[in-house]
Amino acid sequence: MGRRSIEERIQEEAQCVVEELAKTKAEPFDPTFLISRAVSNVICSIVFGDRFDYEDKKFLTLVGLMNDNFQRLSSWWAQVYNLFPHVISYLPGPHNRIFENFEKLRLFVLEMVKLHQETLDPNFPRDFIDCFLLKMQQEKEDPLTYFHTNTLVMTTHNLFFGGTETTSTTLRYGILILLKYPEKQAKVYEEINQAVGPHRSPSIEDRAQMPYTEALIHEIQRFIDIFPMGIPHAVTSDTHFRGYVLPKGTNIMPFFHSVHNDVTKFKDPGRFDPTNFLDENGGFCRHEAFMPFSTGKRVCLGEALARMEIFLFLTTLVQRFTLQPVVPPEEIDTSPLISGLGNVPRPYKFRAIPR
């Protein structure tokens, strides 16, 4: 799937973000769509084999549709729809736009799949779509194969939606928290200087030498609690649990908010505190009550990619810029604007001051 590693693709995109922020000349700037475009471009490079220019009209439409759907899915309308789908489907409301957006996304992906089919070289697969198409050819005589065009379109669609909005929202929240706590931003910069220096780009290997930064990123994910509730699953057989009987097929919704705010696991869960993930010697330590990517056999498949993106994007930004709020830090509100499927941060602006 090409010659560049995923880490190199993220580093390249992080430099594109740096260039865009430099163009703001330290003027107040809303990072929402820049961050979404950057994260989406990482997925594009893996799935489509190349990135889009930030001003490409089709790309802007794609990012806009995903951003709009994430906010709509996190609205109370979407929650009501989940509870009463047969009733709400007949009513007008913003929830109907969700299906329209998904269809536009599906058609965009289908167009890209057709372009790949026309230019496929079996000897040099360029990306995820090419690899999938080759697998389709290999198993075209197998009546039980799962490798069909419809499966490819929906899998690619899921990669985009699941891999763009969750990570970009985490990054936007991460920047907001660094603006609210400038002393913690300063500690991250000090650690970057020691482990990386001012000239080369941060790499994943640097993570082992940056325990405070690693702890801060974990605390960002715990504190923002981006998915208060996890993806529903169903029990495959009648199950006995704490005196209750869960019949086969019962939907189970993990409540991660209760885990990330458990006072028996975190001394003050309502306070942002990176020491929750530091030991007595200042080293990074994992926590059993940390589940932003779910847990068990069905843990998020994109965890490794998301962790890599969050680390490389945030450290690159702090290495190159002082992130300065446009209001006093104590006035910054980190409570979510919308809370449903996910927690969405309030809109904000900041100044990127070159170091």
The domain that holds 154 is classified in CATH as 1.10.630.10
Instruction: Note the pLDDT of residue 240.
Output: 95
Instruction: Note the pLDDT of residue 95.
Output: 65
Question: Are the CB atoms for 163 and 41 separated by under 8 Å?
Answer: no
The domain in which residue 338 lies consists of: 6-354
Instruction: Note the pLDDT of residue 89.
Output: 63
Annotated binding-site ranges? 300
Q: Is the residue at 1 inside a domain?
A: no
Q: Is the residue at 164 inside a domain?
A: yes
Q: Is the residue at 236 inside a domain?
A: yes
Neighbours of 217 (CB within 10 A): 23
Q: Is the residue at 284 inside a domain?
A: yes
Question: What b-and-e string marks burial along 174-192, b requiring 16 or more CB atoms within 10 Å of the CB?
Answer: bbbbbbbbeebbeebbebb
Each of the 355 residues of the chain gets a pLDDT tens digit; together they read 444 689 999 999 999 999 999 999 999 999 999 999 999 999 999 888 889 999 998 888 888 888 777 777 666 666 666 666 666 666 666 667 778 888 888 888 888 899 999 999 999 999 999 999 999 999 988 888 889 988 998 888 888 877 888 899 999 999 999 999 999 999 999 999 999 999 899 999 999 999 999 999 999 999 999 988 887 888 999 999 999 999 999 988 889 999 999 999 999 999 999 999 999 999 999 999 999 998 888 888 889 999 999 999 999 999 999 999 999 999 999 999 877 778 889 999 999 999 9
Instruction: Note the pLDDT of residue 3.
Output: 47
Instruction: Note the pLDDT of residue 153.
Output: 86
Q: Going by C-beta distance under 8 Å and a sequence separation of 6 or more, which residues neighbour residue 316?
A: 11, 14, 15, 17, 18, 201, 202
Q: Is the residue at 329 inside a domain?
A: yes
Annotated binding-site ranges for heme? 300
Q: Is the residue at 302 inside a domain?
A: yes
Q: Could you tell me the pTM of the whole model?
A: 0.89
Instruction: Note the pLDDT of residue 2.
Output: 46
Q: Going by C-beta distance under 8 Å and a sequence separation of 6 or more, which residues neighbour residue 238?
A: 245, 246, 247, 248
Q: Is the residue at 316 inside a domain?
A: yes
Q: Is the residue at 163 inside a domain?
A: yes
Q: How many domains does the chain have?
A: 1
What region, left, alpha or beta, does residue 328 occupy, with left being phi > 0 and alpha being psi -120 to 50 degrees?
beta
**What is the gyration radius of the CA atoms in the chain, in angstroms?**
21
Instruction: Note the pLDDT of residue 76.
Output: 63
Question: Are the CB atoms for 135 and 10 separated by under 8 Å?
Answer: no
In three-state secondary structure terms, 87 is helix
Instruction: Note the pLDDT of residue 350.
Output: 98
